[in-house]
Amino acid sequence: MRMSRRVENLPPYLFVEISKKIAEKEAKGEEVISFGIGDPDIPTPPNVVDRLCQTAQDPANHRYPETAGLPELRRAIAEWYKSRFGVSLDANSEVLPLIGSKEGIAHIALCFIDYGDIALVPDPAYPVYSIGTMLAGGRPYYMPLTEGNNFLPDLDAIPAHVLRRAKLLWISYPNNPTGAVADLDFFNRAVKFARQHDLAICHDGAYSEVAFDGYQPVSFMQADGAKEVGVEFHSLSKSYNMTGWRIGMVVGNAAMVDALGRVKSNLDSGIPQAIQYAAIEALTGPQDCVQEHNAIYQRRRDLVIDMLNNIGLEVRPPKAGFYIWVRVPEGYTSVEFATELLEKFGVVVTPGVGYGKNGEGYIRLSLTVPDAGLVKGLSRLAGWRRTRKQSKDK
Ligand SMILES: Cc1ncc(COP(=O)(O)O)c(C=O)c1O
């Protein structure tokens, strides 16, 4: 049997490796506390689950769904964009529901990337932008996100020969893993840049609803001319604790939405309709849950930041998203530090290098840890300073 080079060159998905390590520890009877994956621990709001259960009883929802999604869902998405961001979308041509945004993020590469084409991808970043590019036969060109540039890509630093072969520009704010945010001015500049260089923009806005201290993230779709050059991926996963149901959306440029719809209609058979009804309930029902969840994450954020500061680690408190991006102590790589925390303290954090070369020197902590685990995890991490101090004192 000979696998394709495409698969042979595919790195293992970051969190699969981490889950394996956790399973190994747990098999030995050790309790592991994971600040690893960003998967909300808070349940889906009960009205959403009720709608799912009700609609699952209806035989009309037991059959193949349409790839384009229920018209009611597309309308609910368009109305949500209007009320949340003031953005008008045509529910028929500018909205497409997805089986979670990851699916669309990976598949859109097939709409743009031919062999040898380039996608401009931030580094560090959610790995699927570059994996999708590579699976389509293309090459990612990595745009460094650094503290020096507030974790925004320096578009003017991209060489002309790269731009000639580049077709897609990936951006994502509020950002995973760095916790950085972008304002409308950055999105306006990105649109201008895309026009100048004939690029399509894919903005990933998965975390736009997770925000703190009264801050309200903007949507890329609010930028002047955004719809002419790009789309925004969004998700119900993080806003409504629906990671397990697998539902997201892409909105914006009609030609891009149509192209992705054509690819998908040949690959998948849509989203189970009961889940689509649950999504309609989430988007059109009471929205108080969003602020309630944010209050929980904000409290956790403050606890984590206090503890990290106490043990002498440098931290920028994020305005949005549920990740804390932390510089590792001197003398460690991100993998060494994450390994030490797992081996000695049973605490999982994600090594920054898993998100790209420029993630080296950082670890990421997710705030999606239930309160009891969070407190225990933090007291274990506090132990890190003690052992380090003792070994220094020796
Ligand atoms: C930046 C970013 N985009 C997209 C996703 C995918 O979310 P989903 O496929 O659940 O919609 C994630 C998941 O962690 C993410 O961090």
The answer to whether residue 388 scores a pLDDT higher than 90 is no
- Specify the pLDDT at position 270: 96
HSE at residue 289, side-chain half, CA atoms within 13 A, is 19
- Please state whether beta strands 323-327 and 362-366 pair in parallel, antiparallel, or not at all (unpaired): antiparallel
* pLDDT tens-digit readout, 29-46: 989 999 998 999 999 999
235 lines ligand 1 (CB under 6 A): yes
DSSP 70: -
Residue among 41, 176, 181, 210 to mutate when testing ligand 1 (max atoms within 8 A of CB):
176
- Please state whether beta strands 350-351 and 362-366 pair in parallel, antiparallel, or not at all (unpaired): antiparallel
243 lines ligand 1 (CB under 6 A): yes
Helix/strand/coil for 170: strand
102 lines ligand 1 (CB under 6 A): yes
* pLDDT tens-digit readout, 263-292: 999 999 999 999 999 999 999 999 999 999
The answer to whether residue 18 scores a pLDDT higher than 80 is no
* pLDDT tens-digit readout, 313-337: 879 899 999 999 999 999 999 999 9
| Among 298, 367, 295, 362, CA closest to 334 | 362
Cα separations in angstroms, 394 against 126, 312, 339, 351: 41, 20, 22, 28
| Length, in residues, of the chain | 394
The answer to whether residue 199 scores a pLDDT higher than 60 is yes
Helix/strand/coil for 218: coil
Counting from 1 in the atom list of ligand 1, the atom nearest the Cα of 126 is 1
Transcribe 6-41 into DSSP letters: HHHTPPPPHHHHHHHHHHHHHHTT---EE--S----
* pLDDT tens-digit readout, 35-92: 998 999 999 999 999 999 999 999 999 999 999 999 999 999 999 999 999 999 999 9
Task: State the virtual CA torsion across 304, 374, 15, 345 in degrees, nearest 10.
Answer: 90
